[in-house]
Protein backbone atom coordinates (compact mmCIF):
# COMPACT_ATOMS: atom_id res chain seq x y z
CA UNK A 1 0.00 0.00 0.00
CA UNK A 2 1.43 3.37 -0.97
CA UNK A 3 1.18 6.04 1.71
CA UNK A 4 0.65 9.71 0.98
CA UNK A 5 3.89 11.60 0.42
CA UNK A 6 2.89 14.79 2.19
CA UNK A 7 0.14 16.55 4.13
CA UNK A 8 0.99 20.20 3.44
CA UNK A 9 2.19 22.22 0.48
CA UNK A 10 5.53 22.92 2.18
CA UNK A 11 8.65 21.51 0.55
CA UNK A 12 10.37 20.64 3.84
CA UNK A 13 7.70 18.69 5.74
CA UNK A 14 8.92 16.65 8.68
CA UNK A 15 7.17 13.55 9.99
CA UNK A 16 7.74 12.47 13.59
CA UNK A 17 6.73 9.48 15.71
CA UNK A 18 7.79 7.62 18.85
CA UNK A 19 8.30 4.02 19.97
CA UNK A 20 8.26 2.40 23.39
CA UNK A 21 5.62 4.52 25.05
CA UNK A 22 3.92 1.51 26.67
CA UNK A 23 7.09 -0.24 27.84
CA UNK A 24 8.02 -0.94 31.45
CA UNK A 25 11.76 -0.52 30.83
CA UNK A 26 14.06 1.41 28.55
CA UNK A 27 13.71 4.78 26.87
CA UNK A 28 10.93 6.23 24.80
CA UNK A 29 12.50 6.87 21.41
CA UNK A 30 11.38 9.26 18.71
CA UNK A 31 12.54 10.00 15.20
CA UNK A 32 12.02 12.83 12.75
CA UNK A 33 12.28 12.43 8.98
CA UNK A 34 12.11 14.85 6.06
CA UNK A 35 11.54 12.98 2.80
CA UNK A 36 11.78 14.49 -0.68
CA UNK A 37 8.54 15.95 -2.03
CA UNK A 38 6.71 13.25 -4.00
CA UNK A 39 8.66 10.41 -2.34
CA UNK A 40 7.17 6.99 -3.17
CA UNK A 41 7.76 3.58 -1.63
CA UNK A 42 5.25 0.73 -1.54
CA UNK A 43 6.87 -1.08 1.43
CA UNK A 44 7.16 1.67 4.03
CA UNK A 45 4.30 1.50 6.51
CA UNK A 46 3.53 1.85 10.20
CA UNK A 47 6.39 -0.02 11.90
CA UNK A 48 3.90 -2.15 13.87
CA UNK A 49 2.63 -3.58 10.57
CA UNK A 50 6.11 -4.68 9.47
CA UNK A 51 8.29 -7.58 10.52
CA UNK A 52 11.56 -6.92 12.31
CA UNK A 53 13.42 -8.06 9.19
CA UNK A 54 11.52 -5.59 6.97
CA UNK A 55 12.08 -2.73 9.42
CA UNK A 56 15.80 -3.40 9.47
CA UNK A 57 15.93 -3.53 5.67
CA UNK A 58 13.98 -0.28 5.35
CA UNK A 59 16.07 1.73 7.82
CA UNK A 60 19.13 2.20 5.55
CA UNK A 61 16.84 2.94 2.59
CA UNK A 62 15.03 5.66 4.56
CA UNK A 63 18.31 7.13 5.77
CA UNK A 64 19.71 7.17 2.24
CA UNK A 65 16.60 8.75 0.67
CA UNK A 66 15.78 11.25 3.41
CA UNK A 67 16.69 14.91 3.07
CA UNK A 68 17.35 14.74 6.80
CA UNK A 69 16.62 12.36 9.68
CA UNK A 70 17.35 12.07 13.38
CA UNK A 71 16.36 10.08 16.46
CA UNK A 72 16.44 10.69 20.19
CA UNK A 73 16.06 8.65 23.39
CA UNK A 74 14.46 9.97 26.58
CA UNK A 75 15.46 7.72 29.46
CA UNK A 76 13.47 6.27 32.40
CA UNK A 77 14.63 8.78 35.03
CA UNK A 78 13.25 11.63 32.94
CA UNK A 79 10.11 9.67 32.01
CA UNK A 80 9.46 9.21 35.74
CA UNK A 81 10.05 12.92 36.37
CA UNK A 82 7.94 14.49 33.58
CA UNK A 83 5.56 11.56 32.70
CA UNK A 84 5.44 9.47 29.55
CA UNK A 85 3.36 11.85 27.42
CA UNK A 86 5.71 14.77 28.06
CA UNK A 87 8.70 12.48 27.56
CA UNK A 88 7.32 11.31 24.20
CA UNK A 89 6.84 14.90 23.03
CA UNK A 90 10.31 15.83 24.35
CA UNK A 91 11.85 12.96 22.36
CA UNK A 92 10.08 14.21 19.21
CA UNK A 93 11.23 17.79 19.87
CA UNK A 94 14.80 16.59 20.42
CA UNK A 95 14.71 14.65 17.16
CA UNK A 96 13.43 17.64 15.21
CA UNK A 97 16.05 19.92 16.76
CA UNK A 98 18.81 17.51 15.67
CA UNK A 99 17.83 17.60 11.98
CA UNK A 100 20.50 19.25 9.88
CA UNK A 101 17.85 21.34 8.12
CA UNK A 102 14.93 23.17 9.72
CA UNK A 103 11.52 21.87 8.63
CA UNK A 104 8.84 24.25 7.42
CA UNK A 105 5.96 22.07 8.64
CA UNK A 106 5.67 19.14 11.06
CA UNK A 107 3.23 16.23 10.96
CA UNK A 108 2.92 14.20 14.13
CA UNK A 109 1.52 10.73 14.75
CA UNK A 110 -1.28 10.83 17.33
CA UNK A 111 -3.27 13.69 18.80
CA UNK A 112 -0.88 15.31 21.30
CA UNK A 113 2.01 17.66 20.59
CA UNK A 114 3.44 20.96 21.79
CA UNK A 115 4.54 23.78 19.48
CA UNK A 116 8.15 23.60 18.39
CA UNK A 117 9.94 26.89 17.56
CA UNK A 118 6.76 28.36 16.03
CA UNK A 119 6.87 25.84 13.17
CA UNK A 120 3.30 25.02 12.05
CA UNK A 121 2.25 21.43 12.76
CA UNK A 122 -0.64 19.01 12.50
CA UNK A 123 -1.36 15.97 14.67
CA UNK A 124 -2.75 13.01 12.72
CA UNK A 125 -4.33 9.98 14.40
CA UNK A 126 -2.83 6.82 12.88
CA UNK A 127 -0.59 9.09 10.84
CA UNK A 128 2.02 6.32 10.67
CA UNK A 129 -0.33 4.36 8.40
CA UNK A 130 -1.23 7.39 6.25
CA UNK A 131 1.91 9.45 5.56
CA UNK A 132 5.32 8.23 4.40
CA UNK A 133 7.41 10.54 6.57
CA UNK A 134 5.59 9.56 9.78
CA UNK A 135 5.83 5.87 8.85
CA UNK A 136 9.54 6.32 8.13
CA UNK A 137 9.98 8.02 11.52
CA UNK A 138 8.13 5.14 13.21
CA UNK A 139 10.53 2.65 11.59
CA UNK A 140 13.63 4.57 12.68
CA UNK A 141 12.30 5.08 16.21
CA UNK A 142 11.42 1.40 16.56
CA UNK A 143 14.68 0.02 15.15
CA UNK A 144 16.94 2.37 17.10
CA UNK A 145 15.04 1.62 20.30
CA UNK A 146 15.24 -2.12 19.62
CA UNK A 147 19.01 -1.78 19.15
CA UNK A 148 19.24 -0.07 22.54
CA UNK A 149 17.14 -2.75 24.26
CA UNK A 150 19.29 -5.52 22.77
CA UNK A 151 22.38 -3.76 24.10
CA UNK A 152 21.07 -3.48 27.68
CA UNK A 153 19.75 -7.07 27.45
CA UNK A 154 23.39 -8.17 27.75
CA UNK A 155 23.63 -6.39 31.08
CA UNK A 156 20.39 -7.87 32.48
CA UNK A 157 19.57 -11.00 30.43
CA UNK A 158 17.03 -12.36 32.94
CA UNK A 159 14.40 -9.90 31.65
CA UNK A 160 14.87 -11.05 28.03
CA UNK A 161 14.69 -7.52 26.63
CA UNK A 162 16.25 -8.87 23.44
CA UNK A 163 12.90 -10.53 22.80
CA UNK A 164 10.25 -8.44 24.61
CA UNK A 165 12.00 -5.03 24.18
CA UNK A 166 10.75 -3.94 27.60
CA UNK A 167 7.04 -4.37 26.90
CA UNK A 168 4.80 -5.76 29.68
CA UNK A 169 4.84 -9.40 28.63
CA UNK A 170 4.10 -12.19 31.12
CA UNK A 171 7.76 -13.20 30.94
CA UNK A 172 8.99 -9.69 31.66
CA UNK A 173 6.63 -9.25 34.60
CA UNK A 174 7.57 -12.69 35.98
CA UNK A 175 11.22 -11.61 35.93
CA UNK A 176 10.37 -8.37 37.74
CA UNK A 177 8.49 -10.39 40.35
CA UNK A 178 11.47 -12.71 40.84
CA UNK A 179 14.45 -10.38 40.46
CA UNK A 180 13.06 -6.93 41.21
CA UNK A 181 13.78 -3.89 39.06
CA UNK A 182 16.82 -2.32 37.44
CA UNK A 183 17.99 1.21 36.70
CA UNK A 184 16.35 0.80 33.29
CA UNK A 185 12.82 0.24 34.65
CA UNK A 186 10.26 3.06 34.76
CA UNK A 187 9.43 3.41 38.44
CA UNK A 188 6.37 5.57 37.76
CA UNK A 189 4.74 2.74 35.76
CA UNK A 190 2.60 -0.03 37.14
CA UNK A 191 5.24 -2.71 36.78
CA UNK A 192 3.13 -5.56 38.17
CA UNK A 193 -0.67 -6.04 37.82
CA UNK A 194 -1.05 -6.64 41.56
CA UNK A 195 1.32 -3.79 42.44
CA UNK A 196 0.49 -1.76 45.50
CA UNK A 197 4.07 -0.71 46.13
CA UNK A 198 7.58 -1.70 45.13
CA UNK A 199 10.60 -1.12 47.29
CA UNK A 200 13.03 0.90 45.19
* Each residue's pLDDT expressed in tens, for the chain with a length of 200 residues: 679 999 999 999 999 999 999 999 999 999 999 999 989 888 998 899 999 999 999 999 999 999 999 999 999 999 999 999 999 999 999 999 999 999 999 999 999 999 999 999 999 999 999 999 999 999 999 999 999 999 999 999 999 999 999 999 999 999 999 999 999 999 998 888 765 444 44
3-state helix, strand, coil in the chain (%, to 5): 40, 20, 40
CA nearest neighbour of 112 among 137, 132, 84, 138? 84
Nearest to 136 by CA among 49, 31, 8, 27: 31
Q: Please tell me the pTM assigned to this model.
A: 0.93
Q: How far apart are CA 177 and CA 10, in angstroms?
A: 51
E-state strands within the chain: 13-19, 28-34, 68-74, 105-109, 121-124
CATH class of 13-152: alpha beta
Question: CB–CB of 10/61 below 8 Å?
Answer: no
Structural domain spans, the chain: 13-152
Burial class (CB in 10 A: 0-12, 13-18, 19+), 42: exposed
Specify the DSSP element, H or E, that contains 135. Answer: helix 132-153
Amino acid sequence: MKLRSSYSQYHLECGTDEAGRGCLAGPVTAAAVILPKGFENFTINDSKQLSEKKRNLLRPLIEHEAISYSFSHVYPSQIDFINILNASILAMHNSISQLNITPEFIIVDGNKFKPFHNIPFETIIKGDSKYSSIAAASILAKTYRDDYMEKIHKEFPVYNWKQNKGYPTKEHRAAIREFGITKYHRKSFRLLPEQYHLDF
